[in-house]
Structure 1
Amino acid sequence: MGLDIKVALVGNPNTGKSTLFNRLTGLNQKIGNFPGITVDKKTGFMKLPDGKEAEVIDLPGTYSLYPKSNDESIVFQVLADKTNSSFPDVIVLIADASNLKRNLLLFSQVADLGIPMILVLNMIDLSEKQGTKINLIELAQRLGVQVVSISARNNIGIDKLKQAITNMNKVATQLQDVDVNVLAPEAINAIKSKLNTDNDYYALQVLHQHEYLGFFTQQEQNEIEEIEQAHHFESSKIQAAETIARYKHLGSVLSGVVTETKTTEKFATNNKLDAILTHKVWGFAIFLFILFNIFNAIFAWSTYPMAWIESGFSFVTEVGHNYLPQGMLTDLVLDGVIAGLGGIFIFIPQIAILFAFISVLEDTGYMARVTFMMDKIMSKVGLNGKSVVPMIGGLACAVPSIMAARNIENWKDRIITIMVTPLISCSARLPVYILIISLIIPSQKVLGIFNLQGLALMVMYLVGIIAAVLVALVMKFIIKTKERAYFIMELPIYRMPRWKNVLFTMYEKSKTFVFEAGKVIIAISIILWVMASFGPGNRFENIEKKYAPALADTTKPTTHIETLMASEKLENSYVGILGHWIEPAIRPLGYDWKIGIGLITSFAAREAFVGTMATIYSVDGGDEDTSTIRERMASSVNNQTGLPVYSFATGISLMLFYAFAMQCMSTVAIVYRETKGWKWPIIQLVYMTAMAYVAALIAYQLLK
């Protein structure tokens, strides 16, 4: 596919850059990595009005060209290197129309690099509603670039932007209204001479950021370093002087262009809501109330769809055994693959409900307030407010959340955040919690309002959060550093959620859960079925001979005999032998060998525990057993004690084990990648496994 033009989207965080990227590219996008770096690279493609095709690159959000994190450093790395595959023909800089002066700082820096550029004022509808009027024609004349007003959220002005890109010529944007040469003339001129460039600002940025620029050889890096030292280049002082000069210039640019007609009431509603929702007492009470309602809804709203899915898989299995030819292949498909997938599909309603609520909280701006409220608590345990973003993201999945910790500048805070984020209960734990809670907690109301099962689920999530905070507090004293941490965050205004976006999030997250978990579950289910259907030597033959006389007696029903034979075969299979081998280590926790197998397989993915139980109990139940997996698990009895396997004590012990244990290969791999070594992932795996074992042991021994 021949591309005609490359367009880079640049802008501050929370300016709607990602929303615009989705509007321009639709579903025609992909995610990769920038070369040599683990930062996500989002690219997409769009058709322009003249029929040409454009590649759109969504660069990480940044407040200025001076990076505070690995993600932010990508912006200048791309814009500084014309040989970079992502180097754009045109830059589209997205600014928040209601906060122009701050947003135009980045615009003026990028413009001075001399790349063709368009300024996009996003959320223009909101800024006008707040009483901000912008003279677009005058602003365009003063800046010397095309200025387009849009509302990416409401799909307003997107066609105008595409037309502006089409009209864009390849003449570079050359503003340079701020004379940066006076800040360090000798050093800048030396770099210009060395790099054969006439752009003062490019030379200044090379002095500031050459360590990030991989296209320089080691010798060139050393020579740039020598220029810095020879001319006493003081990066932080020059950055401050440049920023002051730019803001002073932008003040004159915007004078008479931007007028405020409702300055006193502009943020009145926001401030009133914030006074309640971020209150040091009521704010936390409201947050806990919202959390409880979310977990209550996860159980209450999903009851019927879960029952339909469960009945559907039971029906498929029953029909399959009745009408498909008996044999190994049928058993593999029905008792292995179908049973394993049934254990995952049943949780789609609850996964969808959880992500719907998370999407609504993010879309309305409330999640940012939670981050703000948590900053004070985080700072007391050695973290800062930025740690809350990956930790809250951990409710969905630890892998992208650990990657999000790159935005934390302080090394100690970043390491501690990475080490504790897997303790936050992720969506993979949700099926395990729901399965166990449904077995040990009655579905009844307290005071006619509170669902006991929803309350239990909320407690499990709070257990993970509290554990993460306590571990962070311990690590605060163990890990030493002299760096100081700062927390700067912009609170977005409150908005109504975009219901289309909420539905899309529900669909995408559910699909990802099914496909990502499904691949693991199918593989594990097939391996488990094979290990559960065969045994060493002639064990199976001896068991069949043992029960042959009883099965041959046609005067008595054989269903019970077949179930006994299936159970004895399972215990003598390869999986049964493995389970009995590890049973002594887990018996003090209240687990039998079947649960032990689930613990082993779920290291591939936590939710695999459910699929494992589905497969094992399908094999154990025999072909004639049409009861559901949960019914079989609820009725299973410990052969030694005669008590139910899934007692209250065992259930609590098992949930605590999953709350604290790592049990996720993907998380181990991402921690290795992010910390560039095995030290921290091994420490994490050891301390979390020890916590899980001790907590499960204490819980079972106290409650049994």
Structure 2
Amino acid sequence: MKVALVGNPNTGKSTLFNSLTGLNQKIGNFPGITVDKKTGTCKLPDGALIEVIDLPGCYSLYPKSKDEAIVLEVLTNSNNPSHPDLIIVVADATNLKRNLLLFTQVADLKIPVILALNMTDAARKEQILIDIDKMSQKLGVQVIPISARRNENIELLKQAIVDAPKIALQQESIAVSTLAPQLISQIKQDIRIKEDYVALLLAHQHENLAYLTVDESNHIESLEQANAFQPQPAQTKETIARYDFISNLLKEAVQQKPKVISDTPSGKIDRILTHKVWGFVSFLAILLLIFQAIFAWAEYPMGLIENFFAWLDEVGRQLVPAGLLADLLFDGILAGLGGVLVFIPQIAILFGFIAILEDTGYMARITFLMDKIMRKVGLNGKSVVPMIGGLACAVPSIMAARNIESWKDRIITIMVTPLISCAARLPVYTLLISLVVPNDKLWGFFNLQGLALMGMYLVGTLGAIVVAWVMKKIIKTKERSYFILELPVYRMPRWKNVGLTMYEKVKTFVLQVGKVIIAMSIVLWVLATYGPPERMEKIEEKYQSAQYTQQYDEEELQIMESSEKLENSYVGVLGKFIEPVIRPLGFDWKIGIALITSFAAREVFVGTMATIYSVAEPEDDTSSIREKMSNARDSVTGAPIYTVATAFSLMIFYAFAMQCMSTVAVVYRETKSWKWPLIQLAYMTGMAYLASLLVYQLLK
């Protein structure tokens, strides 16, 4: 049995989904489209297992965005793989007048429905009294009062699913057939549709429904013209009729005191957090807290992970006989993985904070606060959501830009979102900052490393704003953009939800990055271990000659031979080939190799450095990648490689460069053209090179 959760944004639909499914959930895509599809399994009181589908939030079945269009597609197409046997409409009990519009539309599709009134705890606080039985009787459906955040009545909702009828019994809210009787009748007959309201929605939306053939869409268009059907007046008439029905229902079933928004707790908090001055001060203070926490709180668990991998290396070398297999396992795979997985605590902290900002309702305030600034650079407030989401990952953030109605605003948002520093850049930044920025306190409170990290994130954001302003001047369109936003009330974060988000994101990071790191580490180890045979033979002869064996002890010879072999390996040859291009940026050939490999994914940089330095060092060296890089010296001058100038030049390069194949792929998928991803790749690479060159030349 398939059960779909449908509801307005901010009604707690996703929280209910988590309550019903727990960890038994997966995220995929709807067939043929890049919109996220969240599904999970839930066990009912009678032991039956059901599939729960969390459909994107929408305000009505007249979609304004791609996400909302998915809801219409799934609910009106009985052949869609996600088409439900039962719909649970989740409504905010404190805002029923608006939420019930969607319910009346969904109910008229004649799929069995349950109405879940969420946030009933908040409704009680606001002295909203709902007569559940009266509402159930008037609507002809089961009405279940719940609080998904507090897990109130979730078992009652599960029992309601067990008791739900197999056929739709709900009352009609309006007489749909009277809105366009002749047209509805003809569409039902010609397109073989059973329900009046589905036929009416096809009349309104046939151009946007992928499951209709071109002939069917054209036929509906001709029927509209023959019946002189005017969509806009018809939709207005329908909406007014629905609100008349809802007003009458609420008069009979709900008692509520009138409320003044500014007197509510959320209204009072918003006087500060959305203030034109204190709002920005608060936002910067919150950002500072996040970046301080990323360094301060993660230090101890990161040390534990580093020690664990050092112990694994030590024990493993005792158990596995020395040879090629041991070198591959420990210098290749283990070194590459350990170099990246050590950053799990920092990534978990970042995702945890983002989940808290969303859960409390503060993320919507940031969107509202930034709208005026965004308009000046050619974006709108809705661009902030993808850009803030870009702190986690550019891929879902670019997909989130589908909610932006204006084509120009959406394209500019897609083009600049990868400049926002994502979680994949975090390992690169934190590794390099820990090498060159002292772990001292400024004024006894601000951690210098945390301030440097915040600086890197601000540089990326500033770059995005500048590029957006330039694109605003270049890209021309006559289309007007608008910005409509609902500010949800402030709520305490649901710690279970925050924990689930951190778990899911870290699991995705480990599994996705882990696969790439292992593959890259094996390829790198092979390329770093082997080289042109004649070169390798000469090096072996050189260090076996009496001139070297008499002058150096065995350990020194081993270090020198490993280093020279790495430089003459296939990876060394490639690095030396690109070195002249990157030398003005302060990069050596080893960094050059990492720049090439990390195009697969930015965090591969750390794994690459770990593999290269492990191959270069003697086998019994179990020090961490940070220690190895801080001890690295230029073979000619003997000076440290990772100076302040080199480290910041490298961070600036990663702040601006398009080092991510997945992002290129998703931009192509979202724009349906290679033009935009290629422009993006070119301008970001050029911007990264020039900015890196400038920083190195100034700091060296």
| Superposed pair shares fold, TM > 0.5 | yes
Pick from 653, 656, 679 the counterpart of residue 652 of structure 2: 656
For 2:306 and 2:603, how far apart are their aligned partners in 1?
17
- Higher alpha-carbon deviation: 598-607 or 344-353: 344-353
Residue of structure 1 equivalent to 2:296: 300
For 1:120 and 1:15, how far apart are their aligned partners in 2?
10
2:682 is the alignment partner of 1:699: no
CA contact (8 A) 1:131 1:262 kept: no
2:247 is the alignment partner of 1:214: no
Q: CA deviation at 1:569?
A: 0.8
Pick from 217, 228, 234 the counterpart of residue 232 of structure 1: 228
For 2:547 and 2:612, how far apart are their aligned partners in 1?
23
CA contact (8 A) 1:178 1:249 kept: yes
CA contact (8 A) 1:559 1:624 kept: no
- Higher alpha-carbon deviation: 129-138 or 641-650: 641-650
Name the SS of the counterpart of 1:175 in structure 2. Answer: coil
Residue of structure 2 equivalent to 1:313: 309
Residue of structure 2 equivalent to 1:73: 69
Q: Percent identity?
A: 64
CA contact (8 A) 2:26 2:38 kept: yes
Q: CA deviation at 1:193?
A: 4.0
Pick from 650, 664, 668 the counterpart of residue 664 of structure 2: 668
Q: CA deviation at 1:272?
A: 0.8
Residue of structure 2 equivalent to 1:326: 322
* Counterpart amino acid of residue 299 in structure 1: F
CA contact (8 A) 1:132 1:262 kept: no
Q: CA deviation at 1:180?
A: 3.9
CA contact (8 A) 2:558 2:618 kept: yes
Residue of structure 1 equivalent to 2:18: 22
For 2:442 and 2:506, how far apart are their aligned partners in 1?
31
For 1:29 and 1:505, how far apart are their aligned partners in 2?
12
CA contact (8 A) 1:111 1:173 kept: no
For 1:120 and 1:546, how far apart are their aligned partners in 2?
79
Q: CA deviation at 1:116?
A: 1.6
Residue of structure 1 equivalent to 2:83: 87
RMSD value, Cα:
1.9
2:175 is the alignment partner of 1:171: no
* Counterpart amino acid of residue 662 in structure 1: M
User: How far does the alpha carbon of each residue in 1:590-633 deviate from its partner, in whole angstroms, 9 at most, with x for none?
Assistant: 10000000000000110000011011111111224343322221
2:157 is the alignment partner of 1:135: no
- Change over 3 Å in CA distance of 1:266–1:141 after alignment to 2: farther
CA contact (8 A) 1:374 1:388 kept: yes
- Higher alpha-carbon deviation: 594-603 or 409-418: 409-418
For 1:12 and 1:654, how far apart are their aligned partners in 2?
44
Question: Counterparts in 2 of 1:138-153, with a 5 A limit?
Answer: 138-153=134-149
* Counterpart amino acid of residue 687 in structure 2: M
- Change over 3 Å in CA distance of 1:177–1:522 after alignment to 2: closer
2:97 is the alignment partner of 1:101: yes
Name the SS of the counterpart of 1:255 in structure 2. Answer: helix
* Counterpart amino acid of residue 102 in structure 2: L
- Higher alpha-carbon deviation: 570-579 or 623-632: 623-632
2:582 is the alignment partner of 1:597: no
Unmatched tracts of structure 1, length 5 or more: none
2:217 is the alignment partner of 1:203: no
* Counterpart amino acid of residue 473 in structure 2: F
Residue of structure 2 equivalent to 1:503: 499
Residue of structure 2 equivalent to 1:336: 332
For 2:459 and 2:199, how far apart are their aligned partners in 1?
52
Name the SS of the counterpart of 1:375 in structure 2. Answer: helix
User: How far does the alpha carbon of each residue in 1:623-649 deviate from its partner, in whole angstroms, 9 at most, with x for none?
Assistant: 243433222211222234443211111
For 2:258 and 2:407, how far apart are their aligned partners in 1?
43
2:527 is the alignment partner of 1:531: yes
Name the SS of the counterpart of 1:434 in structure 2. Answer: helix
For 2:687 and 2:290, how far apart are their aligned partners in 1?
28
2:190 is the alignment partner of 1:194: yes
2:474 is the alignment partner of 1:478: yes
Residue of structure 1 equivalent to 2:485: 489
2:674 is the alignment partner of 1:678: yes
User: What TM-score does the superposition give when structure 1 sets the normalisation length?
Assistant: 0.96
* Counterpart amino acid of residue 210 in structure 2: G
Residue of structure 2 equivalent to 1:548: 544
Question: Counterparts in 2 of 1:253-272, with a 5 A limit?
Answer: 253-261=249-257, 263-264=259-260, 268-272=264-268
2:579 is the alignment partner of 1:587: no
Q: CA deviation at 1:264?
A: 4.7
For 2:60 and 2:261, how far apart are their aligned partners in 1?
30
2:347 is the alignment partner of 1:351: yes
* Counterpart amino acid of residue 49 in structure 1: P
For 2:116 and 2:559, how far apart are their aligned partners in 1?
69
2:275 is the alignment partner of 1:279: yes
Residue of structure 1 equivalent to 2:395: 399
User: How far does the alpha carbon of each residue in 1:507-543 deviate from its partner, in whole angstroms, 9 at most, with x for none?
Assistant: 2222222221111111111111111111102212211
For 2:3 and 2:622, how far apart are their aligned partners in 1?
58
- Change over 3 Å in CA distance of 1:510–1:202 after alignment to 2: closer
Pick from 385, 388, 404 the counterpart of residue 389 of structure 1: 385
CA contact (8 A) 1:131 1:266 kept: no
* Counterpart amino acid of residue 633 in structure 1: M
- Higher alpha-carbon deviation: 254-263 or 455-464: 254-263
* Counterpart amino acid of residue 288 in structure 1: L
- Higher alpha-carbon deviation: 360-369 or 501-510: 501-510
For 1:580 and 1:552, how far apart are their aligned partners in 2?
26
Residue of structure 2 equivalent to 1:515: 511
* Counterpart amino acid of residue 362 in structure 2: Y
Name the SS of the counterpart of 1:176 in structure 2. Answer: coil
- Higher alpha-carbon deviation: 334-343 or 238-247: 238-247
User: What TM-score does the superposition give when structure 2 sets the normalisation length?
Assistant: 0.96
Q: CA deviation at 1:85?
A: 2.4
For 2:139 and 2:286, how far apart are their aligned partners in 1?
46
* Counterpart amino acid of residue 392 in structure 2: A
- Runs of at least 4 residues off by over 6 Å: none
- Change over 3 Å in CA distance of 1:558–1:193 after alignment to 2: closer
